Amino acid sequence: MHYKNAKGILSAENGINLYRGCTHGCIYCDARSKCYQMEHAFEDIEVKQNAPQLLENSLRRKRSRCMIGTGAMCDPYLPLEKAEQLTRRCLELIDRYGCGVTIQTKSDLVLRDLDLLKSIQAKTKCVVQMTLTTFDEKLCRTVEPNVCTTHRRYEVLKILQAEGIPTVVWLCPILPFLNDTEENLRGILQYCFDAGVQGILCFGMGVTLREGDREYFYAKLDEHFPGMKQRYISAFGNQYECSSPNNHPLMQIFHTECHSHNILHTPEAVFAYLHQFEDKQTAEQLSFF
């Protein structure tokens, strides 16, 4: 890893990324794509060491409170977060300034900060977004090798449910010819239903591939699934969107099951929920009077 002083940390959409790069090793990761113009090796994590100071400066100047999002481009709970604690320090600021937060992660390290998540949730809204792609644990260890498996992430969702922290699941990507099965989908959905998630984000059954990401993905297919790269090339060529042949029936199951369990299941509805700031303290005061 290496350290850098960032010029800014809070985007116009109120998002923050405290690190750059990743060590999870997911074979499909879009963040490897060359279009993001990363100037260092992907596994050589850039630590934005001045992020808390930049965030506090931004929050101090804000005229109104809002939802702050983290994890869109880099998991805020990489293993090095145990020592660096940038995520925790930023959560402390978000809590202090009365903002809400949405956290996107694949790591059970998020439970370390449960005290802060609960404090934020008591005043406004704190949502943990967990990615689930692969119900089969053996396959999960292959496609997402350096992070806790799907079952452990399900356990994290259950713990958060018990502690009153709302959750959303990202059901993506679904890899054609690998986990694009009804068994995989129903297994993940059952985890979601049992954990009481608020919504599930799914953009279709498939994966996106572009320069940088595609080459890494194909190398891993050659390593773990001999012959699969040729199947992808034959089916998709150099397409950006690689949609599963099973997309239509699987999406029908997805929407039908989510609807029957009263779970948000369109991207528009889920994102609207994630972006909506809630002021519980003001609401309580108004109800009192």
Which amino acid is located at 61 in the chain? R
Q: What is the pLDDT of residue 280?
A: 86
Q: What is the pLDDT of residue 156?
A: 98
Q: How far apart are CA 31 and CA 111, in angstroms?
A: 25
Q: What is the pLDDT of residue 70?
A: 97
Chain Cα centroid distance, residue 136: 19
**Cβ-based neighbours of 71, under 8 Å, separated by 6 or more:** 17, 102, 103, 104, 105, 129
What does the angle CA 140 – CA 22 – CA 59 come to, to the nearest 5 degrees? Answer: 120
Give, as one character, the DSSP assignment of residue 261. Answer: T
**Cβ-based neighbours of 261, under 8 Å, separated by 6 or more:** 193
Q: How far apart are CA 113 and CA 203, in angstroms?
A: 30
Q: How far apart are CA 126 and CA 38, in angstroms?
A: 30
Q: Can you list the domains of the chain with their CATH numbers?
A: 2-288 (3.20.20.70)
Q: What is the pLDDT of residue 288?
A: 47
Exposed / middle / buried, residue 182 (Cβ in 10 Å: 0-12, 13-18, 19+): exposed
Structure tokens at 60: 């101090």
Q: What is the mean pLDDT of each run of 10 residues along the chain (289 residues)?
A: 96 96 97 93 97 97 94 95 98 98 98 98 98 98 98 98 98 98 98 98 97 97 98 96 98 98 98 95 56
Q: What is the pLDDT of residue 285?
A: 54
